[in-house]
């Protein structure tokens, strides 16, 4: 039907009624035909769009002009919006972002999980939608991404052969020369500015990914919310001690009064990953300290740590509330990483067991338990798909009363999910960064006799489409929601 009425290149006008994945929105034409529209749009926008593809039941189009802007629109604070691929929702007011993310989780539970009326709680917003990241990774390249307005210039204001910032979307070679990131702290942006100045003054050759040449690869900056410490990790292709000492002096001169540590990760690998094979500590201890609630953690350059400190504390509080731990409870934390959730819950349980496949994470988790004086947390390395074989080793700790599972984006491995359901915990708290995975695994959990009693989205990353969720399943619940 659509083929006969519309052709590629046709112009259509429609109202945007919903958000979709992959930078697309959804609307309908007056005839009822659905249209997936690409572009930085908001629900409530009336747009003119050009048809790019004709399907049997819907059209695909790209927005050309916003004819009537939505009331949910706002002016992005970042000048790189629309060029940088990081903050794709910055043109939408923050309360509307939260409504969109809440609906995204609800829709997945209904349409993928088969839950008729998911017991949704309002999305928990971040204290601030800007300056919330405690870690930012910048890339360096000899191929600077040229903004649209620069393509028509006879003479560029900046050289094309140096850029320090973020990769252009879909391009591993070109980098946007970023003046400042609005998700970073002011201290992080100062490090970015000082590093760019130093690199240009000292003719530091930027890394070229395709050619595998050049010295300066990445700049990774971490900042502690609770201590004010800043870590600078400069990633290079080889070590130059004299240059690093000069760089250290340059940073200290430009950031007086800020507790600094500087490390140099060195690698000659043919990739753009911001880690090294050898690490040199140039200034300070090489680590910074951060707190989550009453817990304190030492963070090294390549350690994993929650990127939004304040919202991580809120997330862990919601996980604790969902667990409803009782005196004498044993809690298992699956996919425990460096043990932050395990240690948070250990203070409220008889014992907490953390399971994780990455050996270095288990070592960090044990170290974190020791440094925080927590003696009732135990950590084991295992691939969660082999959880069944691991149960004999865990027998001394007893079967879990409560299970917290925080799997990767793809969700739980089917074998891990099957074994988890056989453990007979009275409550399962599923922490998810992907609504679709939560819905699929949630359907299996509900099928095993558990009832979904609450789902709370937690916004860890404002201005992006990502959303975390805390879903609580109770085996003894008399109410709640069932999956059809």
- Indicate which residues carry an active-site annotation: 433
In angstroms, how far is the first alpha carbon of the chain from the final one? 33
Token look-up 């395709």 returns 210
Please list the alpha-helical segments (H only) found in 135-203. 186-201
Residue among 370, 320, 379 at smallest CA distance from 347: 320
According to DSSP, the residues that pair with 232 across neighbouring strands are: 221, 262
Give the C-alpha distances (Å, rounded to integers) separating 404 from 190, 195, 483: 39, 42, 20
Task: Give how far the C-alpha of residue 344 lies from the chain's centroid of Cα atoms, to the nearest Å.
Answer: 21
In angstroms, rounded to a whole number, what is the distance separating the alpha carbons of residues 257 and 221? 17
In angstroms, rounded to a whole number, what is the distance separating the alpha carbons of residues 483 and 442? 8
Binding-site residue numbers for S-adenosyl-L-methionine are 306, 335, 356, 406
In angstroms, rounded to a whole number, what is the distance separating the alpha carbons of residues 138 and 183? 13
For residue 148 the two structure tokens come to: 């649209």
Counting Cα atoms < 13 Å in the Cβ hemisphere of 174 gives 13
Binding-site residue numbers are 306, 335, 356, 406
In angstroms, rounded to a whole number, what is the distance separating the alpha carbons of residues 393 and 193? 52
- Contact (CB, 8 A) for 432 and 420: no
- Contact (CB, 8 A) for 135 and 469: no
For residue 326 the two structure tokens come to: 């009782």
- Contact (CB, 8 A) for 181 and 189: yes
Angle of helix 241-254 versus helix 186-201 axis, rounded to 10: 130
């Amino acid at each position: 039907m659509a083929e006969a009425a519309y052709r590629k290149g046709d112009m259509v006008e429609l109202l945007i009624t919903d958000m979709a994945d992959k930078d697309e929105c959804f609307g309908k034409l007056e005839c009822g035909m659905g249209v997936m529209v690409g572009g930085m749009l908001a629900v409530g926008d009336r747009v003119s769009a050009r048809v790019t593809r004709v399907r049997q039941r819907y059209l695909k189009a790209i927005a050309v002009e916003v004819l009537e802007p939505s009331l949910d629109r706002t002016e992005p604070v970042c000048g790189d919006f629309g060029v940088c691929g990081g903050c794709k929702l910055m043109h939408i007011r923050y309360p509307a972002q939260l409504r969109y993310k809440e609906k995204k989780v609800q829709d997945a539970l209904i349409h993928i999980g088969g839950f008729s009326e998911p017991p949704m709680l309002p999305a928990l917003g971040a204290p601030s939608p800007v300056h919330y990241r405690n870690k930012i990774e910048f890339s360096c390249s000899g191929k600077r991404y040229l903004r649209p307005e620069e393509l028509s210039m006879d003479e560029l204001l900046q050289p094309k052969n140096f850029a320090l910032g973020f990769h252009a979307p879909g391009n591993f070679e070109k980098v946007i020369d970023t003046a400042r990131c609005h998700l970073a702290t002011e201290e992080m942006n100062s490090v970015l500015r000082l590093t760019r100045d130093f690199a240009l003054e000292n003719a530091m050759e930027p890394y070229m990914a395709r050619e595998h040449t050049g010295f300066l690869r990445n700049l990774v900056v971490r900042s502690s919310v609770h201590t004010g410490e800043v870590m600078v990790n400069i990633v290079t292709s080889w070590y130059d001690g004299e240059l690093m000492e000069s760089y250290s002096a340059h940073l200290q001169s430009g950031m007086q009064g800020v507790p600094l540590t500087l490390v140099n990760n060195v690698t000659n690998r043919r990739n753009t990953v911001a880690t090294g094979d050898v690490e040199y500590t140039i200034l300070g201890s090489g680590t910074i300290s951060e707190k989550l609630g009453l817990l304190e953690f030492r963070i090294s350059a390549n350690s994993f740590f929650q990127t939004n400190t304040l919202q991580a504390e809120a997330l862990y509080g919601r996980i604790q509330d969902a667990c409803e731990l009782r005196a004498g409870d044993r809690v298992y934390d699956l996919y425990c990483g460096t043990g932050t959730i395990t240690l948070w819950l250990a203070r409220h349980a008889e014992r907490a067991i953390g399971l994780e496949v990455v050996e270095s994470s288990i070592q960090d988790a044990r170290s974190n338990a020791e440094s925080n004086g927590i003696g009732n947390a135990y950590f084991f390395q295992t691939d969660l798909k082999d959880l069944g074989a691991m149960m004999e080793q865990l027998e001394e700790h007893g079967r879990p009363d409560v299970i917290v599972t925080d799997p990767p984006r793809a969700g739980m491995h089917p074998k891990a999910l099957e074994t988890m359901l056989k453990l007979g915990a009275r409550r399962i708290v599923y922490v998810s960064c992907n609504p679709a995975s939560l819905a699929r695994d949630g359907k299996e959990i509900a099928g095993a006799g558990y009832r979904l009693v609450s789902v709370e989205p937690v916004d860890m990353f404002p201005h992006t489409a990502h959303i975390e969720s805390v879903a609580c399943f109770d085996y003894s619940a008399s109410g709640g929601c069932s999956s059809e």
